[in-house]
Structure 1
Amino acid sequence: MTAMQDMTPTRAASSLRKTASRASASLRMGGVVLALGVLGGCVSLPGMQANVAPAEPTKGLEPQKVNVASDAVTYHFDFVFGDGAGTASSKHFGAGFIVVTQDGKEVQAIAHNFELPRSALDRQGWMQFGDLNNDGWQDFMVPHRMTNGVTVMSLYEYDSKAERFAPVGKLSGLGEISRAAPGCVQVTRALTAEGAADRQNFCYSKQTGQWVAQIAPLSADDVLDADAGCAGATPDAKACRKSRMALEKTLKGELQTYGKSYQGVLTESKNKQYAARFVRNTNVEHRAWLRYRDARCNAYVREQGFDRKLFDSAIEACRYDLSVAQLHEYRLRNARLAETMAADDAGEEATAKPAAEAAPEAAAATAAEPADADKAVAKQ
């Protein structure tokens, strides 16, 4: 039998009370030590060093929200700083997570790092929303860092099936992203020492589900001439062909305007034969450009690796984009010619006016000379 079994009930109860008393004393002593340890973190006790309070975080980024479609749910976006990020001593907001919530429930956390200076980041509008791939759902862009004077951005598309925002790796991290046309964006990579920008356009192909690099970057003026029939990398071939043929008529009209205007100038400065040859050569150059455009688009589409069934669609879109860029060049050329002709006309008028004002005086002086001569003869 054990020692406890040898004890009488009275002695066993007494022993249990003594054991419980010693355990209670140990717990009270541990509580005192724990309390001193907690107080030591807040108050400097003799022989102890006070902990340094952490740096206060700066004011964060304002929450954002968007309806991904007119009749869809609303998503809210907050940027949550990571460990050590967002403090007053840091030059950047730093790393953290873009937390996406719906009805107060977190649905996604996207890791992101703000490496650009605080002054370059808009706290109220640090996200840009828009239907960039033209699929009817809102996507968003967010800045990442500054490189060669350009804000490098990341692009996230909304996946309606997964109900999540997916990163677009092909476009993210290249440069500053802006909307160029329906289903198309323009990426500005860097600024050269002369201030020129390296730009490239990408259009979304719904058939392939991919962003495709375009052969011709569209400027702001070019976008005004864009036709919805040729939107995207692989639009409907028939609709785009119709738009491209209409655009070629506009190109021809601009070319004829240029030829007629310049023909008149050359006829006056040279001769009719020279002016006629110039017009013929201008038309020959345009037809050569059309052949070059078609050959370049054929090669470009094959380089992109499209399925054979999408060749016609992609080629028509390429031809259309190059024609839009060429139309812009023709219009600039006509505008410069009009300015030059107007300046020449103004110069001729300025030269002719003093001559016209001096003509009556010269005529009066010439008429007075015979009269004076007659008076002189009469005196003799």
Structure 2
Amino acid sequence: MRELSLIMLAAGNSTRLNMEVKKQFLRIGSDPLWLYATKNLSSFYPFKKIIVTSSNTSYMKKFAKNYEIVEGGDTRAQSLKNALKLVETEFVIVSDVARVSISKNLFDRLLENIDKADCITPALKVCDTTLFDDEILQRERIKLIQTPQISRTNLLKKALDQDVNFTDDSTAIAAVGGKIWFIEGEENARKLTFKEDLKKFNLPKPSGEIFCGNGFDVHEFGEKRPLILGGVEIHPSMGLKAHSDGDVLAHSLIDALLGAASLGDIGELYPDTDIKFKNANSIELLKEVYHKVKEIGLELVNADICVIAETPRLKDFKESIAKNIAHILDISEYRINIKATTTEKLGSIGRKEGIAVLSNVNLKYFDWTLL
């Protein structure tokens, strides 16, 4: 049996999908699409090493300890070059996670032809009349190139050392004089590129799991600046001490979202030792964090936020805070609840030294089947 390595490319920006969630993080059952596609292809063969490129390595490593997760690049070629540094086998199979339904039949046919050339490539024929700038092309000479492709590792590395943005392995191998062997591709091996493509694949729908997260933050009074809670000005001069604008409610909600999404905490993303976050608008940070949450395929179900303060009284501000948070997160107001309580004059909060906020959120998987 040949020693083979597998590289799965999953570091793209998914711009053509035109959704807030990145394509590789669409949930198929409980698995993100990149993991679903990798499990599928890796089940066909005992690969010596399985390597996945990523633009979010720390998060993706939480899903599969038996895979090598490497940082991707700005281009497909750079991502592949980064992954190839870990490959020592004579042959390497490279595929895109967007080709989510590769069949074992296609994989087996690739292996059957491994000795016929330096790169074995599946391709589809074009059966429709094809135009380029209103000129008819000879469709018999056109091929739609697919992955996975099997390549000789040394030639692929040599090709990518040219720093040319090759869009597939066969063109890279050909550029250094390697021989290409084409086999017949499959319709099921087409890429998932646009959101309309989701209807063409018979994929399991996202699971109905719910993920809970909580966040707690406390800040001391003492800054002569406005007191801001949830992006709403509560008092013109009772500001809270903080590296940012001191919006303790926004900080608590950010931590709750990060916790439910397993994305760390606010101190990791926005350290108070970084000058660029000095006096930062915490509502803008909240927007940014929720964007990160949606990128990995999650969305907010609800948030329950409790402000703990002896002063000022918040009865007249709770509704406006809830409305502003709902607006910022672009969700219905009924999904945001703001509560206020005191510590019955106990402790530092009871002595009117500061404000604390406890936030709880629930997240669910984005349901792409409703598109």
| Structures share fold, TM-score greater than 0.5 | no
- Range into which the TM-score falls when normalised by the shorter chain: under 0.3
Per the normalisation by structure 2, the TM-score is 0.22
Per the normalisation by structure 1, the TM-score is 0.22
- The answer to which structure, 1 or 2, has the higher relative contact order (CA under 8 A, 6+ apart) is 2
Higher helix share: 1
